[in-house]
């Protein structure tokens, strides 16, 4: 199979990640639950991963790194825990439903919401952010990179706006963590939400959030913590405050090995290879008659994501042909990004998304280009 | 049964601090290990760092450096 659905999850993981998970599953106990060697090994593994992630994202204190199941959980914790009725939030049409749905829930609870629009190429109208700040604006919630167009937002610039106006800045780094450098201090990010199973090359069920020191977030879950058992309330100390229940120690061991792999390989090397694969694909398909691309392909920095359509064909049909006739995995439909599809005018058709990873090859990209060309020719003959 | 002796015991609010403290002690070659919190002490986190009294000065120095949060430092049988 030629797997080009890495924006959904990176299918191929480094062998070190698999080995780390297997080792963890055959050796670790439960972190923070007693002091047997098995329990301590789990606690050490998790602390080691916390420390690495802190270094990876420029977080000074590893205790401000919280483990969750994925970006969705992180975003729910951040949005639900920080946005209260009466608060105004600025977000964008580029967001995934893991941002939009928690925000819509907050809106129904009495918060106010403004979504910043994009231009025809799916680029955020960043100048509109400042214009929409109100007296009661509490936060800006923004994706670092669109999971549909691959367009990347200038997080550092938006971070400066947030800082200048005293607003919280919550960033969804689902598509960028592991491939674009992120420094929470430099970018003035209050809460960075990331997932482990995409560009970080870790197992599914891993993810987390980096929370600015001193920022208290009301927890979404309360429960076992291994500490302060006789307190009727969940402990307020970080990271335990936001980590009720047994952590995914096995997965976190894999995520830790994944970070090692990225640091050993070099994030710049990984990004360059992915960008080259993406550019090769774009150059190969952009002039095929009937092919329409969505996004800004002249941008210097973008995610290795290419969404396209062929004529007026249903994206689901194209993706199914790619899968059944060419064994190429892509993602059709709406990609959990309803507002972005509205903005691009692709609600009915959806789009076929090709997304590359470090482990794809130039030959695979060329095969995908040939497939798009053949399908496009077939459709033009039919019409 | 293992003979108990008076030790320097450090307690913590959360597991992350206990593990960070263990890591620091090991880096500095300080003798000791993580133990379940003795019942005479009331602590948030269920694990505590225990060192021989001879290491107390070095253990206190880590706690006083302030970058790893501790709940308290005690002397008790462990």
How far A247 CA lies from chain B's nearest CA (Å)? 12
Phi, psi dihedrals of residue A70, rounded to the nearest 5°: 180, 180
Q: What residues in A contact B68, CB-CB < 8 Å?
A: none
ipTM score of the complex? 0.84
Q: Which domain holds residue A378?
A: 266-382
Sequence spans of domains, chain B: 6-77
The size of the A-B interface in CB pairs under 8 A is 66
**C-beta atoms of B45 and A35 within 8 A:** no
Q: Answer positive or negative: Cα dihedral of B19, B20, B25, B29.
A: positive
**C-beta atoms of B44 and A235 within 8 A:** yes
Q: What is the pLDDT along chain A (383 residues), one digit of tens a residue?
A: 999 999 999 999 999 999 999 999 999 998 877 889 999 999 999 999 999 999 999 999 999 999 999 999 999 999 999 999 999 999 999 999 999 999 999 999 999 999 999 999 999 999 999 999 999 999 999 999 999 999 999 999 999 999 999 999 999 999 999 999 999 999 999 999 999 999 999 999 999 999 999 999 999 999 988 778 888 999 999 999 999 999 999 999 999 999 999 999 999 999 999 999 999 999 999 999 999 999 999 999 999 999 999 999 999 999 999 999 999 999 999 999 999 999 999 999 999 999 999 999 999 999 999 999 999 999 887 76
Comparing alpha-carbon positions, the chain A residue that sits nearest to B19 is A44
Comparing alpha-carbon positions, the chain B residue that sits nearest to A44 is B19
**C-beta atoms of B16 and A235 within 8 A:** no
Tell me if A175 is assigned to some domain.
Answer: yes
Tracing tokens 């070659």 back to the chain, one arrives at: B29
Q: Answer positive or negative: Cα dihedral of A29, A34, A35, A36.
A: negative
Cα–Cα dist A5/B44, whole Å: 45
Q: Which CATH class is domain B6-77?
A: alpha beta
Could you tell me which residues come within 8 angstroms of residue A37 by beta carbon, excluding any fewer than 6 positions away? A29
Tell me if A5 is assigned to some domain.
Answer: no
**Domain end residue (candidates: A265, A294, A310):** A265
3-state secondary structure of A69: coil
DSSP H helices, chain A, are 15-25, 37-57, 71-82, 97-108, 127-131, 155-164, 249-265, 267-285, 315-326, 338-344, 362-382
Among partner residues B14, B22, B47, which is closest to A235 by beta-carbon distance?
A: B14
Could you tell me which residues of chain A have a Cβ less than 8 Å from any Cβ in chain B? 31-35, 40, 43-44, 46-47, 50, 62-63, 225-229, 235, 237-240
CB atoms within 10 A of CB A18: 13
We report the CATH number of the domain holding residue A70 as 3.40.640.10
H/E run at residue A168: strand A168-172
Tell me if A10 is assigned to some domain.
Answer: no
What's the number of CA atoms in the CB half-sphere (13 Å) around residue A165?
22
User: Is B55 part of the contact surface with chain A (CB cutoff 8 Å)?
Assistant: no
**C-beta atoms of B15 and A43 within 8 A:** yes
Q: Answer positive or negative: Cα dihedral of A244, A248, A249, A254.
A: negative
How far B57 CA lies from chain A's nearest CA (Å)? 24
Domain count, chain A: 2
Residues A27 and A141 in one domain: yes
H/E run at residue B21: helix B15-27
């Amino acid at each position: 199979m030629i797997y080009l659905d890495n924006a959904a999850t990176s299918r191929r993981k480094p062998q070190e990640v698999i080995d780390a998970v297997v080792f963890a599953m055959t050796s670790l106990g439960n972190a923070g639950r007693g002091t047997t060697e098995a329990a301590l090994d789990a606690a050490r593994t998790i602390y080691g991963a916390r420390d690495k992630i802190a270094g990876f994202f420029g977080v000074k204190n590893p205790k401000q790194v919280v483990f969750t199941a994925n970006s969705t959980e992180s975003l729910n914790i951040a949005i639900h825990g920080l946005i209260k009725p009466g608060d105004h939030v600025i977000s964008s049409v580029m967001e995934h439903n893991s941002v939009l749905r928690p925000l819509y829930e907050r809106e129904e609870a009495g918060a106010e919401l403004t979504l910043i629009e994009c231009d025809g190429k799916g680029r955020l109208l960043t100048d509109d952010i400042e214009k929409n700040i109100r007296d009661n604006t509490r936060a800006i919630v923004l994706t670092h990179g669109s999971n549909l167009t691959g367009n990347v937002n200038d997080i550092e610039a938006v971070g400066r706006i947030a800082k200048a106006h005293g607003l919280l800045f919550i960033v969804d780094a689902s598509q960028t963590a592991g491939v674009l450098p992120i420094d929470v201090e430099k970018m003035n990010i209050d809460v960075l939400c990331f997932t482990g199973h995409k560009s970080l090359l870790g197992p599914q069920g891993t993810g987390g959030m980096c929370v600015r020191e001193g920022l208290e977030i009301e927890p979404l879950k309360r429960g076992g913590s291994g500490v302060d058992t006789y307190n009727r309330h969940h402990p307020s100390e970080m990271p335990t405050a936001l980590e009720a229940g047994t952590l995914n120690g096995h997965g976190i061991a894999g995520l830790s090995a994944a970070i090692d792999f990225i640091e050993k390989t070099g994030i710049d090397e990984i990004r360059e290879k992915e960008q080259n694969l993406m550019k090769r694909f774009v150059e190969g398909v952009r002039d095929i008659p009937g092919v329409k691309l969505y996004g800004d392909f002249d941008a210097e920095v973008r995610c290795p994501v290419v969404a396209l359509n062929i004529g007026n064909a249903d994206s689901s049909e194209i993706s199914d042909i790619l899968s059944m006739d060419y064994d190429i995995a892509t993602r059709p439909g709406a990609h959990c990004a309803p507002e972005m599809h509205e903005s691009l005018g692709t609600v009915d058709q959806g789009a076929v998304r090709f997304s590359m990873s470090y482990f794809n090859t130039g030959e695979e990209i060329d095969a995908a280009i040939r497939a798009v060309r053949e399908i496009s020719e077939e459709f033009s003959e039919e019409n | 049964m293992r003979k108990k002796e008076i030790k320097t015991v450090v307690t913590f609010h959360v597991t992350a601090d206990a593990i960070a403290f263990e890591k620091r002690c090991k880096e500095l070659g300080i003798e000791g290990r993580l133990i379940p919190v003795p019942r005479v002490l009331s602590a948030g986190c269920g694990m505590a760092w225990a060192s021989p009294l001879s290491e107390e000065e070095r253990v206190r120095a880590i706690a006083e450096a302030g970058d790893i949060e501790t709940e308290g430092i005690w002397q008790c049988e462990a």
